[in-house]
Structure 1
């Protein structure tokens, strides 16, 4: 009789354990469904970008005029004496006096230019100068891109059709989780 008491106790224990575990766990399983179609869900996204180029800008630059520099007369005096001496060596009589005078004037002009470097006393000239400098110019340009943000997947399972949006393309088969629960 101990054997029947033991088998009856085991049956009671098995029944009470099955009452604690929900019946839905036994009806959950994974299976595969046939994929009928996959449609990418595409959206247009603006990704602005910056386009830059370098251009050269030319501007005029006038140098400020400085005050008259002091001129030296030493060159004119020495040039005049040298020209007069050389001119007096040429010709005779009144021609000699004329040659000396022309030599003195010419020597004075040449001596003045050599001494004062031909700048007429100005440190800067009145001619404008031009300078070119690089200028970077940028602008924003709209750049539209197509992005796939998911896939509308239509699949068939046990002669019924379902559609879900998924983050990836599942291919020709879709793994699904099936859960069966009894209706009350």
Structure 2
């Protein structure tokens, strides 16, 4: 029975150590640290754009067809007037074709036309954009650095969780026997 009472103080110490670990982990604190520098981190990003420009385009003049029409009428009338009998139809047909060809060549070319034409095409350009900030801050007399998505300003908020030291090797860990194996 005496051995049983000797193990009780060890059990109490182990339970107190376990309670201390739980309490310490629950006491995370928020602290403010002074920002020393905040440097933007730049990244090249491809951006697709539509680029348009106006160009002057000159096209050769188009014939109106009036010369060919007038030549056809005049050639047909002349062929009809010249021919007699069964040759009259052939002379009229020849006058129509000949007059159309002659009238078209007499008409000549129309003056060239210049028009403004808008041409558009896609173009990829690269822009520098901020992808984050390299922040250097001071806390507890030491400098630290961290990458952040936005500029924190003059101060950065820290989440501090204390580290509780483990009990010395002579004290049993909660839930473990003296041998170190679970009970």
Instruction: Give TM-score scaled by structure 2 length.
Output: 0.53
Distance 2:46 2:146 in 1: 27
Distance 2:20 2:162 in 1: 18
Give how far 1:41 is off.
0.6
SS in 1 for 2:24: helix
Distance 1:134 1:146 in 2: 35
Distance 2:149 2:135 in 1: 10
SS in 1 for 2:72: coil
Distance 1:178 1:19 in 2: 20
Give how far 1:53 is off.
2.0
- 4+ runs deviating over 6 angstroms: 120-123
Return the match for 2:107 from 126, 133, 141.
126
**1:167 and 2:167 correspond:** no
Return the match for 1:71 from 53, 73, 77.
77
Give how far 1:133 is off.
4.5
- Structure 1, unmatched stretches of 5+, are 1-14, 73-119
The aligned residue for residue 27 of structure 2 is 27
Distance 2:72 2:153 in 1: 92
User: Cα deviation per residue 1:112-131 (whole Å; 9 max; x = unaligned)?
Assistant: xxxxxxxx887655311244
Q: 1:20 to 1:158 in 2, by over 3 A?
A: closer
Instruction: Give TM-score scaled by structure 1 length.
Output: 0.53
Contact kept in structure 1, 2:21 and 2:164, CA below 8 Å: no
Contact kept in structure 2, 1:27 and 1:181, CA below 8 Å: no
Distance 2:125 2:44 in 1: 10
**1:39 and 2:39 correspond:** yes
